[in-house]
Amino acid sequence: MALSERALKIIARYNKTDDVIDTTKKFVYEMLEPTPDRGDMLYRYEHSVRVAENGKVIATSEGLPVTDMAVACLLHDVGYRECGDDWPSHPQMSADIAREYLARIDYDPDMAKEIVQGISRHNLTDKLPEDMSIFQMTIRDSDDIDRFDIIRTAMAMGSSVHEKTNVEIIESCNKQIEIARWMMTLKRGTQTAKTMMDKELTQRIELLEQIIAQANKGFSY
């Protein structure tokens, strides 16, 4: 994808650094540019930081390069603002921005290529390329873990129950449970990622089942 003049100007302000994680955080924040009318970009930035923390935990446990993983995870959604309403294109936009940024800060070319490839693939679910590496899968896994953590679970439960009838609540919660159970079946890059993901999904399912039980009681009134 062709990068906007705005993106190129921001990238041009960055150079080789001794603190690549802190610098990348600043870059991602600048690219997402949270503003009063785009508060979702602040959420997106905070999500990226949490994903990086997940990546560091997995990398540390599994012997993967921790700093490289943190950088990759921080950059995985960096193209969100540039995509406008076309959010499905954000993996490729983020990968293209990451490629230019990593070249600008003189990142190791081989690792930069791995990071960019992983970012472009981070939204894949059950159909994974045969050449998708453990490193690349860990970027995707770290993102999924945050997307199903307690914050997103609260968001999902809120949308499932707000001003809905008992029947609608049960139907909505059952759909969320079905998605969570499907997510449990997906291939993960490491055992650490699977353990972390299953913990979040199990918690989500248990909470949704409690809501369903409460909604079922409503039929006895």
Highest mean pLDDT pick, 1-5, 58-62, 164-168: 58-62
Query: What is the predicted pLDDT for the residue at 41?
Result: 95
**Of 91, 120, 148, 105, nearest to 10 (Cα)?**
105
- Say if residues 79 and 90 touch (Cβ distance below 8 Å): yes
Would the pLDDT of 36 be above 90? Answer: no
Would the pLDDT of 221 be above 90? Answer: no
Spatial separation of the C-alpha atoms in residues 69 and 56, rounded to whole Å? 7
For domain 5-125+136-146, give the CATH superfamily. Hypothetical protein af1432 (1.10.3210.10)
Query: What is the predicted pLDDT for the residue at 219?
Result: 65
- Say if residues 7 and 97 touch (Cβ distance below 8 Å): yes
Instruction: Tell me the angle at which helices 109-120 and 66-75 cross, rounded to the nearest 10 degrees.
Output: 40
Spatial separation of the C-alpha atoms in residues 8 and 64, rounded to whole Å? 31
Calculate mean pLDDT across residues 185-194. Answer: 98
Domain regions of the chain by residue span: 5-125+136-146, 148-220
Percent of the chain whose predicted confidence (pLDDT) is above 90 = 89
Calculate mean pLDDT across residues 124-151. Answer: 97
> What pTM, to 2 d.p., does this model score?
0.94
Spatial separation of the C-alpha atoms in residues 73 and 118, rounded to whole Å? 9
The residue among 138 and 217 whose pLDDT is bigger is 138
When pLDDT is cut at 50, 70 and 90, the band that residue 47 belongs to is very high
Q: What is the overall mean pLDDT for the chain?
A: 95
Query: What is the predicted pLDDT for the residue at 220?
Result: 60
Calculate mean pLDDT across residues 196-215. Answer: 96
